[in-house]
Structure 1
């Protein structure tokens, strides 16, 4: 009897399913595309809601959205996007037919009441960054990275060298555990002459940054190597709504000129095409006693258009060159004894030169069945030469300890994915399959002992790196109900590291010896999102990430990494967080997080390199608040705590040097309809240990910046903008980068270990004039 009842229930379920599918087949479909009114280019990430139906989604890369299975009826479609005027349009659905609509959104002032906590694709939503990029326009290259809440930077060389990065209890050096990309193209350089993951973003012109996507932690399937503390993707503008030219002049003989030329104009917009050419030149002597003679040149060209009705093509080419002198790090005792002053130098011959040329091709196809195919091919030619002196006369009391780090690199690769979407009732799922390939080939990766930046005294390392990273991944995003979403994914990465040593170590390992090492790693991800309503979302992110190690280390015969198999040490993390809008003008995002890392990196000051150490764990709390005080005034604050510890050291000796324990940023932003805008901002980093036992402390700082702009209206456009930006408004004396380093000054009998620092920017004002046409 039980068997009969079970069979009856099964038959009933099958019949009900067939009836529902049959009924579904006779329903209608709504397909729409959303464009930016000023550029006529598609807008991605627009929130689209069907009033009263409980259905909502975000537009894809082509600005498209699609609702299937709609009952024949008139509908109201609500469209909203941060920085754009919301619209409500009417659409009539007819059985067995596809209704197509096109919408143009016009830019407007930011209104937090229009921000929706989305239950659709919550794993991809960027509420905080989409607000910040609209309210805090980027005015210099340092501000690019500071758009990530809780991310701090330190400049070693006044603008020439890549910044030192701090995030979530990490001293990331120049990028060891954070993955940086620009339009999907990698920025980090693996097995770099200066350090693993070295990420120089100075080839990006700040005025061309359109958006910043980021996620803290190792929770995103298509982000692989180095994405343990998190990842950041900077999106540059697809097109210009108008041409512009900008001039800046500031203290310390600082000059900058930027121009962007819209090549196709209205004729291109009519065909949904765009092309522009932009260039930047900067010069500054900076605030150091020894003139920096900093020079930077950027040139960028970009084209976006349709290869077919369903395929967009974006081509980007750029070239970048920079050269500078810098004053290096100063030990505390040199200031106290009068050897040099705060902005002085121990070795004034330090400096560097770098260049990078990029080509990036991106193809996005959306098929009639709403399948999304992405293909990206990229290439970069990169050159780097840096002269540093961290220990002065510790090793060589006659010639000094200056070193040269140099390399020539070719980097090329591919990113591809195929995504399909399916629906059944309220349940929908998106399946994404992806493949990635990257190969780095360097020539003459060098570490040498030098004198006065002109004489090579001894070559310490010299060789060629050939490193391959190939990956496959699968990602499933399941919308189980209108409130509950699950994201699960897994990726497999394969590395082949090869190093050709051009220096003879011994008769057993002559010059030209090639060594190889291979390893694969599997990285699973599992994320949950529950959206109670458009004002409240709870989420749990979990996942495994990893960072690769330098090829020169992993290929060393019987080296420590070869013995332990830790060529690709993993990191395991979790975030438990909430997004809340208790009031229409108030947005909270808070998360408690944990990250366990199989291998830590430790900075070794006397060598100027990083070396692998043991296991570590970090835990903390992140809080971001965005509040619209009035129609034109906005406030924001970010609070970040961390408790970083080494797991392989005994108590009292287990601090992680330079890892931040508490940071905060915040400020006020003003945007009026009369052309006046500006901001007043602060950043604070608390004291933190500079060595393992906390006997040497890196002092914290509190610095404020200000920006004021006035834009003149000229008909429908603003003809020009006048701006004043001030870094370190209160002229605080602060140490931007700090290290506990053992060094010896000329004439000293014994070395001393203490804080060595690079002074932070003093009061620094700049005026700018931007003209549009």
Structure 2
């Protein structure tokens, strides 16, 4: 039997088929919308999934999303960590969706593996929600592998360790709050000095971090990594809190929402803290913090916020004590050789941010900041080594005005069928420091000798370009950053007036690859060149040939969502430094110490055992060595080798919240030949909170749960005591806090 098809029938079939496909294309629309929380605030990084095709996107900072090829009758699903998942059936393709997600218990199932979102930052913020902290410096330890240590009273910035670096107070990690830099260049007590005590921890909304120097938007000091904090734009609830504990610990906290409407929100927060510490000579530490923030969203979507903060603190300190003085019984573990150490510091800051969507493809962000900063510190590292009569106490102080701005422009487009995001940015920072001083003193009262005294004017201008190119499951990120520095110094100890000046420029390329193998596994390769600048006085007075020594680094890592409730991450890394910096406090200089290299691995996991129980841990290894030194004499003093943090946490279970946390740092060389060793420690902390009512919470926190003897900071130092004829080079340490319990009561309204 033969079948024939007429030309007209064939043409009709072809046209019908073509019309079907064309109509499908025409009817497939781009759906847009906004996602907010139940308080009407935009939610960033909400995962938006097209249930049929599997295509997805994430909301931006305005809560906005756009998804192509969506038809009437299709389902969109919305999920975000800490919120109930939601979905919507499309009934009108022209409608701009308005989605509201309600707050819910944390659920790791909502964590997605994507090239659009940094999963490790998401997990750090999970930790922040599960284990809230009462110190802004402690928030730094939400970065896996980062350690801090206090060694001169509660008011001095903590010592930081990360990826085989003794970062001192900030030489190799860039820290920002709402876009304002925390690191102080050419600081009286050391390059990059980073004091976060001006931040009230309860005002922190989230943090983001990156290890290495792979981000073109971050410049000076970002060699080991960078950390950025963002404060809250609004408060979910007003809060009053009081804490009391051992060693005369008292803390008062108040937070109040002043304005809360569709376009404007504003709140204030204040904190007052006192603490004597466990020392024989009380610290007499007190600190007051004030913070206010205004956030405004215009009807056209433009967003503006401005924050104002002020903090002031004073303290006494026992400093680092020599091991031999404790062993001989001259002093106890919490005693002092010179208990006249201490200081005072303050910082007043104004920060403004402006965001504008010029079009669906273009975004502008501008950031402006200003700080006035005062610093005074008395220290005695060597006791009677230099001056056997008066002792070796030194005074370091400065008064600084810091001003700057940053701006960036982002353009989102297509290159063929692939998404391409382009970004350009500019930045300027100017530090004007008056009377930056290092002097020898007696009993904080008498000035014996001025070693350094002068005015510093340092300007850092920068520009960068970056591109994100999405090719199916591969994200290629490239960037190029230009840094220019102008150093000026007027030495007040010179008999004639002179302005010393020097400039330096550096070009820093970046190239990164992220490949999403499937919905559960991503691998990445990060590469970049970074830098850390030297102190202006060292650059100008010593004609330093390494003004802007560079770092060269690479990371090869993976993030694996092994199950709905388990996320595992790991990375191998390498870092080379053209010049290591060692701060010599009693000489007031940053001493170059040659080329160094570091390599190691990071591995960690976060596991949700049930709706209420979370378990996390990380292990970090770093091999750090000086390159041009002989074997056995090439150790980098105090560079950590093994570190680990983690714990188990209970969240919202029958009105209970609790956490048992640990931190461990292994033995490490305290000098170049490892003949002096800084000892390891393992410390555990416990916190328990119970909600008596919806508004009233009682809490208890214990530091050093097992009451071990541990040395929080350790240094190999040559010193001489008053009764000694010869100096001794050995470990000097600040003892870690013993068993320390505090209670709290919190009322929300």
TM-score range, shorter chain: over 0.9
SS of the residue corresponding to residue 198 of structure 1 reads coil
Structure 2 gaps, min length 5: 1-20
Do the aligned partners of 2:141 and 2:148 also contact (CA within 8 Å) in 1?
Answer: yes
1:357 is the counterpart of 2:357: no
In structure 2, distance between residues paired with 1:451 and 1:23: 85
In structure 1, distance between residues paired with 2:696 and 2:345: 34
1:669 is the counterpart of 2:654: no
1:719 is the counterpart of 2:695: yes
In structure 2, distance between residues paired with 1:436 and 1:648: 36
SS of the residue corresponding to residue 125 of structure 2 reads helix
In structure 2, distance between residues paired with 1:144 and 1:405: 27
Aligned residue runs from structure 1 range 465-484, under 5 A: 465-481=456-472, 483-484=473-474
Do the aligned partners of 1:394 and 1:743 also contact (CA within 8 Å) in 2?
Answer: yes
Partner of 1:512: 497
1:688 is the counterpart of 2:687: no
Do the aligned partners of 1:75 and 1:93 also contact (CA within 8 Å) in 2?
Answer: no
Partner of 2:4: none
How far off its partner does 1:24 sit?
7.5
1:530 is the counterpart of 2:515: yes
> In 2 relative to 1, CA 211–123 (structure 1 residues): closer, same or farther, beyond 3 Å?
closer
Partner of 1:580: 560
Q: Could you tell which deviates more after superposition, 244-253 or 109-118?
A: 109-118
> In 2 relative to 1, CA 123–249 (structure 1 residues): closer, same or farther, beyond 3 Å?
closer
Deviations 1:153-200 (A, max 9, x none): 010124210000000000000000000011111000000000000000
In structure 1, distance between residues paired with 2:485 and 2:24: 50
How far off its partner does 1:22 sit?
13
How far off its partner does 1:29 sit?
2.0
SS of the residue corresponding to residue 555 of structure 1 reads helix
Deviations 1:427-458 (A, max 9, x none): 10110111111100000000000010111110
Do the aligned partners of 1:468 and 1:495 also contact (CA within 8 Å) in 2?
Answer: yes
> In 2 relative to 1, CA 610–737 (structure 1 residues): closer, same or farther, beyond 3 Å?
farther
Deviations 1:268-316 (A, max 9, x none): 23x1421101100001111110011101000000011124412101110
Deviations 1:316-364 (A, max 9, x none): 0000000000111100111112221100111011000000001001001
1:436 is the counterpart of 2:427: yes
Aligned residue runs from structure 1 range 627-666, under 5 A: 627-666=607-646
Partner of 1:503: 493
Q: Could you tell which deviates more after superposition, 410-419 or 128-137?
A: 128-137
In structure 1, distance between residues paired with 2:613 and 2:668: 34
In structure 1, distance between residues paired with 2:426 and 2:57: 26
Aligned residue runs from structure 1 range 716-755, under 5 A: 718-755=694-731
In structure 2, distance between residues paired with 1:328 and 1:607: 17
Do the aligned partners of 2:649 and 2:660 also contact (CA within 8 Å) in 1?
Answer: yes
Do the aligned partners of 1:83 and 1:134 also contact (CA within 8 Å) in 2?
Answer: no
Which of 392, 395, 404 in structure 1 is aligned with 2:395?
404
Do the aligned partners of 2:306 and 2:352 also contact (CA within 8 Å) in 1?
Answer: yes
Deviations 1:8-47 (A, max 9, x none): xxxxxxxxxxxx9999898522111111213x21111222
In structure 1, distance between residues paired with 2:550 and 2:446: 41
Partner of 2:452: 461
Q: Could you tell which deviates more after superposition, 239-248 or 305-314?
A: 305-314
SS of the residue corresponding to residue 96 of structure 2 reads strand
> In 2 relative to 1, CA 25–357 (structure 1 residues): closer, same or farther, beyond 3 Å?
farther
Which of 177, 193, 196 in structure 2 is aligned with 1:182?
177
> In 2 relative to 1, CA 125–728 (structure 1 residues): closer, same or farther, beyond 3 Å?
closer
In structure 2, distance between residues paired with 1:150 and 1:91: 45
How far off its partner does 1:124 sit?
8.0
In structure 2, distance between residues paired with 1:124 and 1:225: 25
Q: Which structure 1 residue ranges, 4+ long, deviate > 4 Å from structure 2?
A: 20-27, 122-125
Q: Could you tell which deviates more after superposition, 365-374 or 617-626?
A: 365-374
Partner of 1:60: 60
Which of 523, 540, 544 in structure 1 is aligned with 2:525?
540
1:602 is the counterpart of 2:582: yes
Structure 1 gaps, min length 5: 1-19, 505-509
How far off its partner does 1:511 sit?
4.2
SS of the residue corresponding to residue 131 of structure 1 reads helix
Partner of 1:172: 167
Report the aligned-residue RMSD.
Answer: 1.7
> In 2 relative to 1, CA 613–73 (structure 1 residues): closer, same or farther, beyond 3 Å?
same
Deviations 1:681-730 (A, max 9, x none): 111100000000000000010100000001234xxxx2111110110000
In structure 1, distance between residues paired with 2:569 and 2:124: 12
SS of the residue corresponding to residue 672 of structure 1 reads strand
Do the aligned partners of 1:606 and 1:743 also contact (CA within 8 Å) in 2?
Answer: no
Do the aligned partners of 1:311 and 1:365 also contact (CA within 8 Å) in 2?
Answer: yes
How far off its partner does 1:543 sit?
0.5
Deviations 1:226-285 (A, max 9, x none): 001000001111100111100000001111100001102xxx23x142110110000111
1:415 is the counterpart of 2:415: no
Which of 366, 383, 387 in structure 2 is aligned with 1:392?
383
Q: What TM-score does the superposition give when structure 2 sets the normalisation length?
A: 0.95
1:491 is the counterpart of 2:488: no
Do the aligned partners of 1:61 and 1:364 also contact (CA within 8 Å) in 2?
Answer: no
Which of 150, 154, 169 in structure 1 is aligned with 2:145?
150
Q: Could you tell which deviates more after superposition, 755-764 or 46-55?
A: 46-55
1:46 is the counterpart of 2:46: yes
In structure 1, distance between residues paired with 2:55 and 2:456: 52
Do the aligned partners of 2:438 and 2:588 also contact (CA within 8 Å) in 1?
Answer: no
Partner of 1:12: none
In structure 1, distance between residues paired with 2:70 and 2:722: 84
Partner of 1:521: 506
How far off its partner does 1:123 sit?
5.6
Q: Could you tell which deviates more after superposition, 165-174 or 429-438?
A: 429-438
Partner of 1:231: 226
Deviations 1:608-629 (A, max 9, x none): 6532211100000001110111
How far off its partner does 1:67 sit?
2.2
> In 2 relative to 1, CA 370–457 (structure 1 residues): closer, same or farther, beyond 3 Å?
same
Deviations 1:81-132 (A, max 9, x none): 11111111222464xxx4311112221111111211113x246872321321
SS of the residue corresponding to residue 146 of structure 1 reads helix
In structure 1, distance between residues paired with 2:44 and 2:610: 28
Do the aligned partners of 1:218 and 1:543 also contact (CA within 8 Å) in 2?
Answer: yes
Aligned residue runs from structure 1 range 5-84, under 5 A: 28-38=29-39, 40-68=40-68, 70-84=69-83
Do the aligned partners of 1:738 and 1:758 also contact (CA within 8 Å) in 2?
Answer: yes
SS of the residue corresponding to residue 126 of structure 1 reads helix
How far off its partner does 1:674 sit?
2.2
Partner of 1:13: none
Partner of 2:548: 568
Do the aligned partners of 1:724 and 1:767 also contact (CA within 8 Å) in 2?
Answer: yes
In structure 1, distance between residues paired with 2:496 and 2:54: 68
* Count of matched residue pairs: 729
